[in-house]
């Protein structure tokens, strides 16, 4: 019987010829990642058992991206724990100041994660790297600590679900809408403990930025990982970036899946997830009039250059509605630079948007755009839980960058067509 791409990567990293769903394996990790919230606990655990050296200073990656630039004294102390550890251990991929980007945009961009990798990260959105054809999953700080010492982690081999997308995407529809639609279909635990494998002709035509957004939110369906088999689009992205040799895996024809779902994407319109779960999705035509106070365009889901370009296209020549704040967060310094050179910043500034340095910031209610009681935001982020962006009585609506930008201009959740006059 054949294996899925997830099973093949896990088998190879466990030194086995084959693995089956349910098998418990001890596997070699290519990259172990932590951030300023999760790594301090991992570093504490590392020291507690008397470990002296990380297993490989090129494979332990530390990105202080959540509460940076340091939002308060306690956050500064947490970042200092990372800095001191990085210096002591000679961590190669530690990022500081103007090098910092949102980890899940930064690692692929810098070629630190490559196709065929097995990656664990003490951050739930580590599943983003599945877009490269890697097995990547979120873990807690203690799992990270164990991997920092041993270079290994234990896994239960997940069952795989296959999602087949066919048809042509509508003009304002992106990877974000595909994943929101899918979560709306299967629910926030619809893929619990499972691998989500995204395939089909639509995926083959999807840009890398859209693929990252798609895999990023696999965790929002409870999945262990999301994955897309690498193709020429993946190779085009990886070429010139990869810091290590990579390997391209794909699922066998006769691999087995616990569930196969097919979606005709030509029928999917831009999606909006209502509070307080990502599964509460509706097509934009069914949203009704919802007034908003803030818009956030950024995050590990949608802070990439393509996202900023789409936002700029909608914002060009427009202005943010009165009493509404628009915060735009390029995800990495490179994207920031690129957006500046392409003239996107001028469009954003003329629209009266705030341009933030790369940070996770408001996505998790950390800083740089917190909501007051009763306020509503449209965000291109990944979670709309109670209190996610601030006060427990505030609300977050998840959408793609085009819808977010259009909503900022209108002051209510709006279809991009309401704002963009086609030439």
Partner 1 sequence: MKLRGRAWKFGPDIDTDRIIPARYLNTSDPKELAKHCMEDADPEFAKKVQPGDIIVAGKNFGCGSSREHAPIAIKAAGVSCVIAKSFARIFFRNAFNTGLPILECEEAVEGIDQGDEVEVDLGKGEIRNITKGLTFKARPIPPFMESLLKAGGLMEWVKQRLEVGGR
Which parts of this chain interact with partner 1 (CB under 8 A)? 24, 37-38, 40-41, 44-45, 48-51, 66-67, 71-72, 74-75, 78, 121-124, 126, 138-143, 145-146, 149-150, 154, 156, 188-189, 192-193, 222, 224, 277, 364-366, 370, 383, 385-388, 390, 392
First to last CA, the chain: 54
User: What are 16's two structure tokens?
Assistant: 């086995």
Specify the residue, 41 or 404, whose C-beta has the smaller distance to partner 1. Answer: 41
Kindly write down the DSSP assignment for every residue of 135-163, as one continuous string.
Answer: EEEE--HHHHHHHHHHSEEEEEPPPEEEE
Specify the residue, 48 or 421, whose C-beta has the smaller distance to partner 1. Answer: 48
- CA–chain centroid gap for 369, Å, is 19
195-199, strands of its sheet edge to edge: 225-227, 195-199, 160-166, 259-264
CB of 158 to partner 1, least distance (A): 9
CB of 8 to partner 1, least distance (A): 21
Specify the residue, 8 or 66, whose C-beta has the smaller distance to partner 1. Answer: 66
Separation CA 331–CA 299 (nearest Å): 6
Task: List helix spans (H) across 266-304.
Answer: 299-302
Separation CA 10–CA 178 (nearest Å): 26
Specify the residue, 149 or 347, whose C-beta has the smaller distance to partner 1. Answer: 149
Q: For 354-386, b where at least 16 C-beta lie within 10 A, e where not — what string?
A: ebbbbbbbbbbbbbbbbbeeebbbbbbbbbbee
Specify the residue, 67 or 94, whose C-beta has the smaller distance to partner 1. Answer: 67
Whether 91 contacts 54, CB under 8 Å: yes
- CA-based Rg of the chain, rounded to a whole angstrom? 20
> Tokens 């090098």 label which residue?
99
Strands 281-283 and 271-273 come out as: antiparallel
CB of 75 to partner 1, least distance (A): 5
Specify the residue, 130 or 270, whose C-beta has the smaller distance to partner 1. Answer: 130
Q: Give me the phi and psi of 371, to 5 degrees please.
A: -90, 140
Specify the residue, 6 or 210, whose C-beta has the smaller distance to partner 1. Answer: 6
CB of 311 to partner 1, least distance (A): 25
Picking from 420, 330, 339, the residue whose alpha carbon sits closest to that of residue 380 is: 330
Using CA atoms, how far residue 4 sits from 117, 119, 134, 404, 405, in Å, is 15, 17, 12, 36, 38
CB of 327 to partner 1, least distance (A): 17
Whether 379 contacts 404, CB under 8 Å: yes
Picking from 140, 219, 181, the residue whose alpha carbon sits closest to that of residue 385 is: 219
CB of 124 to partner 1, least distance (A): 4
Specify the residue, 195 or 206, whose C-beta has the smaller distance to partner 1. Answer: 195
CB of 72 to partner 1, least distance (A): 6
Separation CA 341–CA 391 (nearest Å): 36
Specify the residue, 79 or 344, whose C-beta has the smaller distance to partner 1. Answer: 79
Whether 147 contacts 245, CB under 8 Å: no
CB of 1 to partner 1, least distance (A): 24
Whether 267 contacts 177, CB under 8 Å: no
CB of 10 to partner 1, least distance (A): 15
Specify the residue, 107 or 169, whose C-beta has the smaller distance to partner 1. Answer: 107
CB of 53 to partner 1, least distance (A): 9
CB of 61 to partner 1, least distance (A): 15
Q: For 258-277, b where at least 16 C-beta lie within 10 A, e where not — what string?
A: eeeeebebeebbbbbbbbeb
Specify the residue, 156 or 267, whose C-beta has the smaller distance to partner 1. Answer: 156
């Amino acid at each position: 019987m054949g294996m899925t791409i997830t099973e093949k990567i896990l088998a190879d990293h466990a030194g086995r010829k084959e693995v089956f769903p349910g098998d418990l394996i001890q596997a070699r990790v290519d990259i172990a990642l932590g951030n300023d919230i999760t790594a301090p606990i991992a570093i504490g655990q590392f020291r507690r058992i008397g470990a002296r050296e990380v297993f490989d200073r090129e494979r332990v990656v530390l990105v202080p991206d959540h509460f940076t630039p340091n939002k308060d004294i306690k956050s500064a102390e947490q970042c200092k724990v990372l800095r001191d550890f990085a210096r002591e251990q000679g961590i190669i991929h530690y990022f500081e100041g103007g090098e910092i980007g949102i980890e899940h945009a930064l690692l692929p961009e810098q070629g630190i994660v490559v196709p065929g990798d097995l990656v664990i990260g003490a951050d739930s959105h580590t599943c983003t790297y599945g877009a490269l054809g890697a097995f990547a999953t979120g873990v807690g700080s203690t799992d990270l600590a164990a991997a920092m010492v041993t270079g290994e982690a234990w896994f239960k081999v997940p069952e795989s679900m296959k999602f087949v997308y066919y048809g042509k995407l509508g003009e304002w529809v992106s990877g974000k809408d595909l994943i929101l639609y899918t979560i709306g279909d299967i629910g926030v635990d619809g893929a619990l403990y499972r691998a989500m494998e995204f395939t089909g002709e639509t995926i083959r035509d999807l840009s890398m930025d859209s693929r990252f957004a798609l895999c990023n939110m696999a965790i929002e369906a409870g999945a262990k990982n999301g994955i897309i088999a690498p193709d020429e689009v993946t190779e085009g992205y990886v070429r010139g970036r990869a810091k290590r040799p990579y390997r391209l895996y794909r699922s066998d024809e006769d691999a087995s899946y616990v569930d196969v779902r097919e979606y005709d994407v030509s029928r999917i319109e831009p999606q909006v997830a209502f509070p307080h779960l990502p599964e509460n999705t509706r097509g934009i035509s069914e949203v009704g009039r919802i007034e908003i106070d803030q818009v956030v365009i950024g995050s590990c889901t949608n802070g990439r250059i393509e996202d900023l370009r789409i936002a700029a296209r909608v914002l060009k020549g427009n202005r943010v509605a009165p009493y509404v704040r628009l915060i735009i967060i390029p995800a990495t310094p490179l994207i920031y630079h690129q957006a500046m050179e392409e003239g996107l910043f001028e469009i954003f500034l003329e629209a009266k948007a705030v341009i933030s340095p790369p940070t996770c910031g408001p996505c998790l209610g950390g800083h740089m755009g917190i909501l007051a009681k009763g306020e509503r935001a449209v965000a291109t982020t990944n979670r709309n839980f109670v209190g996610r962006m601030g006060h427990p009585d505030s609300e977050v609506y998840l959408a793609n960058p085009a819808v977010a930008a259009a909503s900022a201009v209108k002051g209510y959740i709006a279809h991009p067509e309401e704002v963009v006059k086609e030439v």
